[in-house]
């Protein structure tokens, strides 16, 4: 049986969305009253993920979906083509977006989604950003960029929370 540390989860939320207390409120509701959170807030959204009832991992999914709704995270299917991956990364990187034409070759367009994300992560590392994937037991990549100096902390908090893990993609 997995043990959860909600304090660590809340700290992680604050690391990933430091200026958005509403995300912390959503995740806290998913922890404290998962049935209410599921029924009132997200039943349709979770049905798309194949979640049909309140589950113990619901707070982790609330974090992933909340980050996506706020434009901080983009989720890629493993079959996603390179143009869609780069467009999605532009959305979450904002002013930190890279000039893809100057760093990627035509051969890179043939890479799988996972390989392309790893290639991009190496370029972002030089800019002080870590491209990470929040694991959700799926064949997709929920991706967010965090400052490199916070990488170890967010990975540790994810593991210590007991809800999931955060994988560095480089």
Q: What is the largest CA-CA distance in the chain?
A: 49
Q: How are strands ordered across the β-sheet holding 74-77?
A: 74-77, 140-147, 129-134, 166-168
Q: How far apart are CA 56 and CA 2, in angstroms?
A: 9
Asked if residue 2 has pLDDT above 80, the reply is: no
Confidence band of 107 (pLDDT split at 50, 70, 90): confident
Range of the domain at 45: 6-168
* Cα–Cα distance list, 32 to 25, 64, 75, 109, 129 (Å): 10, 17, 26, 44, 33
Domain-embedded: residue 1: no
* Number of domains observed in the structure of the chain: 1
Is 43 within the bounds of a domain? yes
Give tens-digit pLDDT for 21-67.
Answer: 999 999 999 899 887 776 666 666 665 656 655 567 889 989 999 99
Helix, strand or coil, per DSSP, at residue 114: helix
């Amino acid at each position: 049986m997995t043990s959860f540390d909600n304090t660590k989860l809340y700290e992680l939320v604050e690391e990933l969305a430091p200026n958005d207390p509403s995300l912390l409120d959503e995740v806290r509701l998913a922890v404290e009253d998962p049935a209410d959170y599921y029924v009132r807030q997200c039943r349709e959204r979770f049905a798309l993920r194949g979640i049909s009832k309140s589950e113990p991992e619901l707070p982790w999914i609330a974090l992933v979906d909340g980050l996506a709704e706020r434009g901080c995270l983009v989720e890629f299917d493993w079959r996603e083509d390179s143009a869609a991956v780069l467009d999605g990364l532009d959305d979450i990187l904002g002013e930190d977006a890279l000039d893809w034409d100057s760093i990627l070759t035509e051969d890179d367009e043939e890479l799988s989604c996972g390989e392309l994300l790893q290639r991009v992560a190496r370029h972002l590392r030089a800019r002080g950003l870590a491209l990470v994937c929040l694991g959700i037991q799926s064949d997709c990549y929920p991706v967010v960029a965090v400052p490199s100096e916070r990488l170890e902390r967010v990975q540790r908090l994810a593991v210590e929370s007991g809800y999931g893990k955060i994988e560095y993609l480089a």
